[in-house]
Amino acid sequence: MSITIQARGISVGIGSGAILVSSEPISFLSGVDQETGVVIESGHPLEGQSIAGKVLAFPYGKGSTVGSYVIYALRRNNMAPSAIINTEAEPIIAVGAILAEIPMVDRPDTAIEMLEDGRSASVDGSSGKITLNEN
């Protein structure tokens, strides 16, 4: 049985994959290697993990506006997340997702901390629906 969570659509499209949750914001400039998709920010909860092909859930972005272009470079290098879920979207991540054509939502009616790492999910950035699939 699947579970549907309603959120606000930010960047259109549908992306699916395993959920990867961070309790901390992410800086894409100097926080994520654009060639490998691995989180390189020292001390970050996701340090050493790849975001490539994942439904990446985190509170919000931080850092420089160049982060938008890093998200675009991740997509160009086939290392981007398949979708993004934020507690609250801010311009750096939203612009990056739109440029890279990565489905994105924010303001889910279930806190991102309640999402299970590794659970299969689909994000529809047009309707704002997050579908959690049975594993």
Just list the catalytic residues. 64
Would you tell me how many other CB atoms lie within 10 Å of the CB of residue 13? 17
Tokens of 68: 């938008």
Q: How far apart are CA 51 and CA 47, in angstroms?
A: 10
Sign, CA dihedral 41-68-6-38, equals negative
Tokens of 25: 């914001």
92: part of which helix (H) or strand (E)? helix 91-100
| C-alpha separations of 98 from 10, 14, 40, 130 in Å | 8, 13, 23, 18
